[in-house]
Structure 1
Amino acid sequence: MAKKSIYKTEKGKQLIQNNYSELLSDWVQPCKQQFIKTQLGDTFVLESGKVDAPAIILLHGSGSNSAMWMADAKILSEFYHVFAVDIVGECGKSAETRLPFKNNSYSDWLLEVINHLNISSTAIISNSLGGWIGLDFAIKFPERMNKLVLIATAGITNIRLKTVFWIIITSLSGQKGFDKLNQIVYGELEIDQQSLTFANLVRQHYVPRTDALPRFSNEQLQQIKCPVLFIGGENDCFYVSEKTAKRLEQNIENAKTLVLKNSGHVVVNQINTIIPFLKN
């Protein structure tokens, strides 16, 4: 586990954390904010919704935090007991500890969190890196999972090399490169000012992970028994959604997939597809 900070400077860390705190002031109310102590790092969790309803865990993507679920959480909280979890080692409020992708580290961490929350079985809605963690958890602890939603998930196909190229260009080209990368990541989606401000802060002050996420084997995917819903954009700059959908359908018996036209890696406004899947 890396011990050095995931931020370039302490001032940069505070700028990102302050921005995040401001965003959370708009989270659905009532909301409980808590830190859970785990052997792999303190974990920040936002809890909202109906306490006697089925549990849902929300897992964000890399270089992000639970603020990405703001709009979805407001709707989900009408029907479910919602827990948005900041992944350790990312730019939320959880510990800066970066876990290895091997040796069950993320699954063990998530299991500790779920046990602390007294959740016996849960659905997971996940994005990108969060999708990789959700898949890994469904493989390792199938008895604790009842549904899995994967949005633009990692772990099924290899990352596109052209995106790696543009990430390198961005690091060398300042604002111009950043604008170009945003165009690639968001596609035709209009970027709101809050998202743009946060993305700019992350670019300036956050140190992203550079190690590749392992790809799950067919044998591993075939161990997943819960129903799975995949939603991806046809123009996803990181992963080929059509290939992701095909592998999931071929290896998971209860997999349903949806590839969205004119959509990139950032997928929004799909809650009306997700809720019927959760309720079915």
Structure 2
Amino acid sequence: MIYKTDEGRAFVLRHYRAVLDAWPVQSRETSISTRQGETFILTSGPDKGPPLILLHGSATNSASWVGDIGTWSQHFRVHAIDLIGEPGLSAPSRPPLGSGAYQEWLDDVLDGLGLQQAAVIGLSLGGWVAMDYAIRRPDRVGKLVLISPGGIGRNRNILLWALPLLLLGAWGRRKMQARIGGKALLDPAFATSPLGVMSDTIFAHFNPRTERLPTPSDAELQALPMPVMALLGGKDVFIDAAETRMRLERNVRNLTMRYLPEGLHFMPEQTAAVDAFLLA
């Protein structure tokens, strides 16, 4: 089970629904049948805009993009996809990450959307999924944006400091979130917002993945033909940003690197930079 209890699942989805009901731009909700079960997609932007796929990180859902969607949906037909096996509205399936199942799953999603190719943005775990898909299906990814992607450099062991905080209830969970995304997450206004309440509920009731992310080889990174943008924060508590930067700069031939020495794992202030890269 991806949730600790059925009641916890209901709590999480109820608060996710509150975020979706307050979505800042006009959107359409759809569900596509895939080999891994139903997949939820939130679509915004002009009907004939260039397609853009968004893949969020672990222990969250498409609410991750609430601060970006207003900008990106001005120019693109944006499809925010709830990853399978995460606390969203897609199937709870968690096939092995290195099995090729995620490539097949995204094939089904793009086929269901009627897309042969799209630009893809991936955050954290979603960055790994996006990168893996670009390696396996380079003809289907026009541009690739990797925000704090896992699996390229060493993943850090956060359990040493995160577990004690999780034992301190809601306050400890917010402190952990602040180390991931900044002090703004400690603001009472965020804690009581639909997004803040949903995030706290997820940390209280959801079982995150524990599987190690497979690491792409240098040869696989060198073979990526599409323009790639990477956004990395030097103070990321999840990944070794310096090693990730080194591997990408050494191997990806068409790379735009944006390395922020003071940046954390989540860097919401990069919306405009990503938009400019996608429009270039």
Name the TM-score class by shorter chain.
Answer: over 0.9
Aligned partner of 2:50 in structure 1 is 54
Q: Please, which moves more after superposition, 190-199 or 96-105?
A: 190-199
Aligned partner of 1:169 in structure 2 is 164
- Secondary structure of the corresponding residue to residue 262 of structure 2: coil
Aligned partner of 1:251 in structure 2 is 251
Rounded to whole Å, the distance in 2 between the matches of 1:31 and 1:184 is 31
- Secondary structure of the corresponding residue to residue 56 of structure 1: strand
- Secondary structure of the corresponding residue to residue 71 of structure 1: coil
- Secondary structure of the corresponding residue to residue 126 of structure 1: strand
Aligned partner of 2:196 in structure 1 is 196
Give the superposition deviation at 1:255.
Answer: 1.0
Give the superposition deviation at 1:166.
Answer: 2.1
Matched AA of 1:182? Q
- Secondary structure of the corresponding residue to residue 84 of structure 1: strand
- Aligned with residue 94 of structure 2, among 90, 95, 98: 98
Aligned partner of 2:181 in structure 1 is 186
| Residues 142-197 of structure 1: per-residue CA shift (max 9 Å, x gap) | 00111011111101111113x13223334545446434422321244444223432
Aligned partner of 1:133 in structure 2 is 129
Is 1:265 aligned with 2:268? no
Confirm or deny: 8 A CA contact 1:27 1:74 kept in the other structure. Answer: no
| Residues 104-163 of structure 1: per-residue CA shift (max 9 Å, x gap) | 1111101110011011110011100000000000000000111011111101111113x1
Rounded to whole Å, the distance in 2 between the matches of 1:26 and 1:176 is 25
Matched AA of 1:24? L
| Residues 26-45 of structure 1: per-residue CA shift (max 9 Å, x gap) | 22443110110011111000
Confirm or deny: 8 A CA contact 1:72 1:271 kept in the other structure. Answer: yes
Is 1:154 aligned with 2:150? yes
Give the superposition deviation at 1:16.
Answer: 0.5
Give the superposition deviation at 1:24.
Answer: 0.6
Decide whether aligned partners of structure 1 residues 34 and 223 sit closer, same or farther in structure 2, where only a CA change above 3 A counts: same
Rounded to whole Å, the distance in 2 between the matches of 1:103 and 1:226 is 23
Matched AA of 1:100? P
Q: Please, which moves more after superposition, 168-177 or 256-265?
A: 168-177
Confirm or deny: 8 A CA contact 1:188 1:262 kept in the other structure. Answer: no
Structure 2 unaligned blocks of 5 or more:
none
Structure 1 unaligned blocks of 5 or more:
none
Confirm or deny: 8 A CA contact 1:52 1:81 kept in the other structure. Answer: yes
Matched AA of 2:257? T
TM-score, scaled relative to structure 2: 0.93
Rounded to whole Å, the distance in 2 between the matches of 1:29 and 1:68 is 14
Aligned partner of 1:230 in structure 2 is 230
Aligned partner of 1:14 in structure 2 is 10
Give the superposition deviation at 1:262.
Answer: 2.4
- Secondary structure of the corresponding residue to residue 250 of structure 2: helix
Rounded to whole Å, the distance in 1 between the matches of 2:81 and 2:27 is 13
Give the superposition deviation at 1:61.
Answer: 0.2
| Residues 51-88 of structure 1: per-residue CA shift (max 9 Å, x gap) | 11110000000000001101211211111111000000
Give the superposition deviation at 1:240.
Answer: 2.1
Give the superposition deviation at 1:9.
Answer: 1.1
Confirm or deny: 8 A CA contact 1:139 1:224 kept in the other structure. Answer: yes
Identity of aligned residues (%): 35
Rounded to whole Å, the distance in 2 between the matches of 1:170 and 1:126 is 27
Aligned partner of 1:219 in structure 2 is 219
* Segments of 4+ moved more than 4 angstroms: 188-191
TM-score, scaled relative to structure 1: 0.93
- Secondary structure of the corresponding residue to residue 34 of structure 2: coil
Q: How many residues align?
A: 275
Confirm or deny: 8 A CA contact 2:25 2:69 kept in the other structure. Answer: no
Q: Please, which moves more after superposition, 102-111 or 27-36?
A: 27-36
Rounded to whole Å, the distance in 1 between the matches of 2:196 and 2:26 is 27
Rounded to whole Å, the distance in 2 between the matches of 1:30 and 1:187 is 28
Query: What CA RMSD, in Å, does the superposition of the two structures yield over aligned residues?
Result: 1.6
